[in-house]
Amino acid sequence: MDHVSVGLLGFGTVGTGVVHLLTDDQEKLKERTGCSIHIEKILVRDKDKIRKIKLDNRCLTQDARDIIDNPNIDIVIEVMGGINKAREYILQALRNKKHVITANKDLMALHGSELLQTAADNHCDLYYEASVGGGIPIIRSLTEGLAADRIQKIIGIVNGTTNYILSKMSQQPVSYEEVLREAQALGFAEADPTSDVEGLDAARKMVILSHLAYSIPVNLEDVTIEGITQVEQEDITYSKKLGYTIKLIGIAEYENHLIDISVQPTLLPIQHPLASVENEYNAVYVYGESCGETMFYGPGAGELPTATAVVSDLITVVKNLSLGITGHHIFLPNLKKQCKPAEAIASRYFLRMHVFDKPGAFSKVSHLFKEQGISLEKLIQEPLIRGEKAEVAIITHETNKQAFENTCQLLKDLDVVSDVKSYYRVEGMN
């Protein structure tokens, strides 16, 4: 085989990046794969739109069938985004025995099992490295590099927008709202940032990673999701005083056949390698039974990093085609899912509250913690400027989620507590 033809579904930022790389690096790609790669068709919304890249106009089409039903096309690259149409096109392409590469995390998180099963049934490849962590080869590392290990836990900073916002809030005393507006102006946050700031985007990526790491068919509904909209500057300030930083962290843990997946603002010790992941960068920290702790760090998004991941999948598919081994690498989850109950989820916690500054107040608070079987590791109390009240920030020793949330409820009912302002889990040893 000395020639493959590719069709692109979508010609936005990532699509443009892919076309750039395929055009600029033609010779290098030929050298690496033994094959010349030709772009046959690109699906666009408007053929006549003026574009950054000059391309033969006959290459563009507004009809997806020109790609998914085109007998000349071997490989379909889906970079259009969205769910329903992308799903439909990919399924049809696979049924037509075309190999598929997608950068679509939303689609893989929602319909990954169906798409992978269809690929397997048709002996086709389906690769999706670009769907998690942009330029970081994390999916490849999980499926190949760490293949010999048993993965116990994955913790990841997998959303660039929220990491950018929390980094800025940590660098300067600015509010969430101010940084969000700045991030939107700079293009680091979307006009409607809901999916990012509410933790949904990160949750989808954790679903994809969990599926790969544990071979379990998890859904988005299995993920506990909490976004960053309620994180206040005071939470960050007190975290720092206690030796921590706040990040939006996804955790997927598998223990005794029970899985637990969550995305939540989380305190990390400042010495933790994930704590130095700043701004729009992403990182995934993996605990393997044999390998110990490994981390993969890089740009979480962006035209070229994402396009590079797509092209790197393309190289793999072209090699597989040459070797006649397409469809051999589909990885279908083969274990049953059982989720961990709240009373089995162990964690340390950070809690910030306002108490009335009168004799015996703190004794009542500490008595309650003792009663609930939760011991305290670190504590700061500072007077509030408005007087009469004090602000208290606590790091607990390990407890379980159920017990901690009960305690928060009971604290709110104490007459000496004016307000429980916030609480977050704490990850990593200090």
Among candidates 352, 363, 360, 367, which has minimal Cα distance to 408?
Answer: 352
Among candidates 32, 33, 30, 60, which has minimal Cα distance to 44?
Answer: 60
Find residue 244's DSSP bridge partners: 269
Instruction: Report the nearest approach of its own copies to the CB of residue 159 (Å).
Output: 17
| Near its own copies by CB under 8 A: residue from 44, 311, 351, 420 | 311
Q: Does 79 interact with its own copies (rule: CB under 8 A)? A: no
Q: Does 1 interact with its own copies (rule: CB under 8 A)? A: no
Q: Does 302 interact with its own copies (rule: CB under 8 A)? A: yes
Stretch that binds its own copies, among 47-55, 224-232, 308-316, 360-368 (CB under 8 A): 308-316
355: which residues sit within 8 A by CB, 6+ positions away?
361, 362, 365, 389, 390, 392, 416, 417, 418
Q: Please say if 205 is a catalytic residue.
A: yes
| Near its own copies by CB under 8 A: residue from 166, 314, 353, 426 | 314
Q: Does 153 interact with its own copies (rule: CB under 8 A)? A: no
Stretch that binds its own copies, among 49-57, 129-137, 369-377, 404-412 (CB under 8 A): 129-137
Q: Does 160 interact with its own copies (rule: CB under 8 A)? A: no
Among candidates 255, 313, 12, 261, which has minimal Cα distance to 134?
Answer: 313
Q: Does 316 interact with its own copies (rule: CB under 8 A)? A: yes
302: which residues sit within 8 A by CB, 6+ positions away?
134, 135, 280
Separation of alpha carbons 38 and 20, rounded Å: 13
Q: Does 304 interact with its own copies (rule: CB under 8 A)? A: yes
Q: Are 394 and 376 in contact (CB under 8 A)?
A: yes
Which of 324, 387 has the CB closer to its own copies? 324
Find residue 42's DSSP bridge partners: 8, 60
Residue ranges that bind its own copies, judged by CB under 8 A: 17, 21, 25, 28-29, 32, 129, 135-137, 140-141, 144-150, 271-273, 275-278, 281, 283, 288, 290-299, 302, 304-305, 307-309, 311-312, 314-316, 319, 323, 325, 328
> Which amino acids are annotated catalytic?
205
